Structure 1
Amino acid sequence: MDVLAAMGVFVRVVDLKSFSLAAAELGISSSSVSKQVSHLEQHVGARLLQRTTRRLSVTEVGAAYHEKCQAILSDVDEAENLVSQLQGKPKGVLKINANMTFGQQLLSRAIPEFMAAYPDVQLEVALDDSDVELLKDGFDLALRITHPSLPDSSLIAREIASVPLFLCATPAYLAQHGHPQTPEALKQHNCLVFMLASNTNTWTLTNTAGSQTIQVGGDLKANNSLMVLQAALAHRGVANLASFVIGKYVEEGQLELLLPDYQAERLSLYAIYPERKYIAPKVSLFIEFFKGWLDDNLQQKFDLTGHL
C-alpha cells in the first residue's frame, strides 16, 4: 500500500464527507476509495471513519489523524514545490476557482495563452460566485473581485488588478425616464442590482467635492452580473457594472454611461492562495502571467463618449 496516496484519499473523504465525491474528484472508483481507507485503518490499527448507509462521520482518532495527514501532505507538497522552484520548471495540476462572469469573460481568454506558454501545467477551473475554502475544496488559487479590504485569514490575498464600475442604461430607457443629473436622482430610477456584490444596495460615487453613498432599489436583484446586464439591455433600468462586462455595449452605443462627473466605485481583483513557506511555481507563475495579461486586456476606463 502506498501510505501517502492512501492518506491523500482519506483526507479528501473527510473534507468532502463522501466516498463518492472523493472518488469523482480523484478520478477513481468509490470501491477503490473505500479499500484505500480500509487498508489505511488496518495499517494504523484504528477505526478512522464510522460508516452507515446514511451517514459518514469521523472518529476522534480519525479527526486527529486527519489533521496530521494534512500536515504531512502539505510538507510533501512543499518539498516537491521547492524542487520545482530550483529547477524552474512549473508542472502539475493547477486548480483555480474564480467568479462566474469574470471567469467566463476574461479568465477563459487568458488560460489558453498560459497553457501554450507552460505546457507541463494542467488546469482545472471551477467558476463559482460563492466563497470557497481553498484547502478543504482542494484549490491552489482563487480569483475574487471584491472591495480592496479583505477580512484577516490564514490565506494570502494579493491584489493583481483594479476593476472600475460604471453606471449605465440604454438610450431607450433614458429617453423614457430621463438622465439622472445627481447621485440622489438615482433613487427615482429602477436600479438593477447584482446582489452578491459587496455594494448590493448602496452605490457610492465620488467627485471633486467628495463621496456620496446612495441607497438604491429596483425590481431586479440577481446573483449574476450577466443577468443584470441583460435586464439593462432590455431597457429595464440603471445598472452599476464592471468595465469588462459592459465595455463592448458602451462602444456599440447600446448602453450609455451616466453621471460623467462622478467616479463610481473601484473593486479589486485578488489572487488568494494558502499561506505556505514555498509557493508552487505553477501558482506564482500563473499569478504573474495573469497580472500582465490583465494589464494588457482589462478595460480600465472610458472617455465621456464611451470610447476606451
Structure 2
Amino acid sequence: MDLLSAMRVFVRVVELRSFTQAADDQGVSSSAVSKQVAMLEQHFKARLLHRTTRSLNVTDIGEAIYRQCKVVLEEVAGAENLVAEFQGEPRGLLRISSNMTFGQLVLSRALPEFMARYPDIRLEVTLDDRMPDMVREGYDLMIRIKGSQLPDSSLVARKLCDIPMFICATPQYLADQGVPDSVQALQGHNCLIFVHAENAHQWQLGAPGEAPQVATVSGDLRANNSVVVREALLAHRGIANLASFIIAPHVARGELVPVFPHAEPERLAAYAFYPNRESVTLKVSRFVDFFAGWLNEHLPQSLPPADKGAV
C-alpha cells in the first residue's frame, strides 16, 4: 500500500465530506477512493468513517487520524519544497482559484507562458466568484479582485495590479436616453449591476485632489457574471460600471464609450492570497512574481482610443 497516497485521499474525503468529490479532486474513480480508505482503515485497524447513502461522518479516531495525516502530509510537502529550493526549480501541482471572468479573460492568457517557463509545475485552475476556504479546499493560491476592504483573515495578500472601473454605455443608448451630466444623474438611468462587485450599487467618480462623488444606482438587470452585464450593455439596455479588461475591445471598436471620459475612474485591485508567508512554496512565489509582471505588461490602466473607422 502507498501509505502517503492513502493519507492524501483520506484527508480530501474528510475535508470534502464526499467520496465522489474527493475522487474528482484527486482525478481518480470513486471505487479507487473507497479502496484507499479501506486500506487505510485496515492499516490502522480502526473504523475511520461512517458512510451511508445520505451522509458521511468521521469517527472520533478518524478525526484524530485526519489531524495526524495533515501533519505528515504537510511535513512531506515541506521536504519536497526544500529539495526544490535547493535545486532552484519549482515543481509539483499548483492549485489556483480565481474570479470567473478575470480567469477567463486575463489569467487564461498568462498560463501558457507560465507553463512554458516552468515545465515541472502542473496547474489545476478553478474559476469561481465565491470566496473559498483555501486551507480546507486545498488551494495553494487565490486570485480575487477587491476594493480597499480585504478579507479579515489570516491570509497573506499581495497586490498584483490596479483594476480601473469605467462607467460606460453604447453610443446609441446615450443618444436615445441622454448623457448624464453627473454621477447623481445616473439615478435616472437603467443601471446594469454586477452583483459580486464590492461597488455593485455604489458607483463613484472623482477628479484628482477631490473627494469622489457617489451615487446609489439600480436597474432591471442584476447578474453574478460581468459578461452577462456586458452583453446587455452592448444590446443598448443601459449603463454599466465594468472593469477595463472586460470592455476594452468594445471601446476600441467604438461599440462602447465611457460616460464620463474626463473623470478619474474608481480603482479596485487584483490580489493574490495565500495562507502563510513563512511557508510559502517556491511554486507559489514564482507564479505570483510572474503574474504580477505579466499583468503590468499586458493589462492597460486606461481605455484604448476608439478606432476612427469603427461604426
TM bin, normalised by shorter chain, reads over 0.9
2:290 aligns with 289
Aligned-pair CA distance for 1:245:
0.6
Matches within 5 A, 1:40-79: 40-79=40-79
What is the distance in 2 between the residues matched to 1:91 and 1:21? Answer: 25
Aligned-pair CA distance for 1:140:
1.3
Q: Which amino acid aligns with 2:240?
A: A
Q: Which amino acid aligns with 1:120?
A: D
1:89 aligns with 89
Aligned-pair CA distance for 1:227:
0.8
2:255 aligns with 254
Q: Which amino acid aligns with 1:297?
A: H
Aligned-pair CA distance for 1:89:
0.9
Aligned-pair CA distance for 1:261:
3.7
Q: Name the TM-score, length of structure 1 as normaliser.
A: 0.94
1:183 aligns with 183
- Does the 8 Å CA contact 1:97/1:141 hold for their aligned counterparts? yes
Q: Does 1:266 align with 2:267?
A: yes
Q: Which amino acid aligns with 1:25?
A: D
Give a deviation string over 1:118-139, Cα, whole Å, max 9, x none.
1111211111111112222222
Q: Does 1:33 align with 2:33?
A: yes
Worse-superposed segment, 88-97 or 285-294: 88-97
What is the distance in 2 between the residues matched to 1:72 and 1:78? Answer: 10
Aligned-pair CA distance for 1:193:
0.5
Aligned-pair CA distance for 1:306:
5.4
Instruction: Specify the SS of the correspondent of 1:172.
Output: helix
1:216 aligns with 217
Q: Which amino acid aligns with 2:126?
A: A
2:105 aligns with 105
Give a deviation string over 1:248-282, Cα, whole Å, max 9, x none.
11111111111234223211111111216332221
Q: 1:80 to 1:174 in 2, by over 3 A?
A: same
Aligned-pair CA distance for 1:166:
0.5
- Does the 8 Å CA contact 1:190/1:238 hold for their aligned counterparts? yes
Instruction: Specify the SS of the correspondent of 1:210.
Output: coil
Matches within 5 A, 1:6-25: 6-25=6-25
Instruction: Specify the SS of the correspondent of 1:89.
Output: coil
1:243 aligns with 244
2:231 aligns with 230
What is the distance in 1 between the residues matched to 2:216 and 2:36? Answer: 56
Q: Which amino acid aligns with 2:184?
A: E
Q: Which amino acid aligns with 1:91?
A: R
Worse-superposed segment, 59-68 or 246-255: 59-68
- Does the 8 Å CA contact 1:247/1:299 hold for their aligned counterparts? no
Q: Which amino acid aligns with 1:75?
A: E
Unaligned runs of 5+ in 1: none
Give a deviation string over 1:203-259, Cα, whole Å, max 9, x none.
122224311221100010111111111111110111100011111111111111112
2:301 aligns with 300
Instruction: Specify the SS of the correspondent of 1:164.
Output: strand
What is the distance in 1 between the residues matched to 2:306 and 2:113? Answer: 29
Worse-superposed segment, 216-225 or 152-161: 152-161
Q: Which amino acid aligns with 2:271?
A: Y
Instruction: Specify the SS of the correspondent of 1:22.
Output: helix
Aligned-pair CA distance for 1:66:
1.4
What is the distance in 2 between the residues matched to 1:79 and 1:212? Answer: 53
What is the distance in 2 between the residues matched to 1:280 and 1:8? Answer: 19
What is the distance in 1 between the residues matched to 2:40 and 2:277? Answer: 27
Aligned-pair RMSD on alpha carbons?
1.6
- Does the 8 Å CA contact 1:94/1:283 hold for their aligned counterparts? yes
Aligned-pair CA distance for 1:57:
0.7
Identity across aligned pairs (percent)?
Answer: 53
Aligned-pair CA distance for 1:69:
1.6
- Does the 8 Å CA contact 1:191/1:238 hold for their aligned counterparts? yes
